[in-house]
Amino acid sequence: GQNIDQPTEMTATEGAIVQINCTYQTSGFNGLFWYQQHAGEAPTFLSYNVLDGLEEKGRFSSFLSRSKGYSYLLLKELQMKDSASYLCAVMDSNYQLIWGAGTKLIIKP
Amino acid sequence: GAVVSQHPSWVICKSGTSVKIECRSLDFQATTMFWYRQFPKQSLMLMATSNEGSKATYEQGVEKDKFLINHASLTLSTLTVTSAHPEDSSFYICSASTPDRNTEAFFGQGTRLTVV
């Protein structure tokens, strides 16, 4: 079956750096997405990786290793507003998004 | 980026009544729209995939007669929850994709449905 694993919850300090890991096993691979979701709101797009390596976008970076079925989202200079759930999703061979359960990130002052 | 508008943002209805949720792509033609359901502290659960002009494809365990999906045009899909019950209370989210498949999914704002 298809499976996306990410930690349920993480805690970090304002101003610090946090890395959220995601491992996947899917039927085919057409890219990996990271979304941010604040409570009660729809997800918002953060990043898309389809090739191995690191994609940097401001304070957020996303890394992909297709051979390892592994990705991480790196958040730098954490701000209180970064407290949210972070969803990892993989697009399979049918172009369907397979979603992880999300990682709740708690930022403490 | 592309914009998807979902309406209403929240709705309260009585048990036994039906509720319609609209999802519109405002600046692009959405050949495919997806309907998700999300329970508190859980991830998105795909309910169905709707392609313009054809019948929706429902995921296993989702009752197609209860959750009616219509995708009559390239910019509008609707989800109707028929004979709603309290257990249907949830957060419903639509997303749309463009013909270029390897792109982000564009989400509507979501609809909080409460059935009393």
Q: Which of A8, A3, A5, A12 is nearest to A79 (CA)?
A: A12
**Letter string b/e over residues B54-87, b meaning 16 or more CB atoms within 10 A of that residue's CB:** eebebeeebeeeebbbebeeebbbbbebeebeee
Q: How many CB pairs below 8 A link A and B?
A: 49
The pLDDT tens digits for B14-65 are: 999 999 999 998 888 888 899 999 887 777 888 999 888 888 999 999 999 9
Higher pLDDT, A15 or B46: A15
- B5 pLDDT more than 80: yes
- B109 pLDDT more than 70: yes
Whole-number percent of chain A with pLDDT over 70: 100
Please report the pLDDT score of residue A35 as a whole number.
92
Chain A residues with beta carbon closer than 8 angstroms to that of B102:
30-31, 48, 50, 91, 95
B11 interfacial to chain A (CB closer than 8 Å): no
Interchain pair A30, B93: CB under 8 A: no
- SS3 letters for chain B? CCCEEEECCEEEECCCCCEEEEEEECCCCCCEEEEEEECCCCCCEEEEEEECCCCCEECCCCCCCCEEEEEEECCEEEEEECCCCHHHCEEEEEEEECCCCCCCCEECCCEEEEEC
- A61 pLDDT more than 90: yes
Cα maximum dimension of chain B: 41
Please report the pLDDT score of residue B15 as a whole number.
97
Interchain pair B46, A97: CB under 8 A: yes
Q: What is the mean pLDDT of residues A51-64?
A: 95
Arithmetic mean of pLDDT over chain A: 93
Q: What is the mean pLDDT of residues A17-25?
A: 98
- B99 pLDDT more than 70: no
Chain B residues with beta carbon closer than 8 angstroms to that of A42:
6, 93, 107-110
pLDDT band at residue A88, thresholds of 50, 70 and 90?
A: very high
Chain A residues with beta carbon closer than 8 angstroms to that of B91:
40
B5 interfacial to chain A (CB closer than 8 Å): no
Chain B residues with beta carbon closer than 8 angstroms to that of A28:
none
In 10 A of CB B4, how many CB atoms? 26
Higher pLDDT, A94 or B85: B85
Q: What is the mean pLDDT of residues A25-44?
A: 89
B89 interfacial to chain A (CB closer than 8 Å): no
Please report the pLDDT score of residue A91 as a whole number.
85
Contact map slice: B 34-73 vs A, CB within 8 A: 34, 41-44, 46, 49
The pLDDT tens digits for B56-98 are: 999 999 999 999 999 888 899 999 999 999 999 999 999 987 6
User: CA of B110, closest CA in chain A: separation in Å?
Assistant: 6
Please report the pLDDT score of residue A56 as a whole number.
93
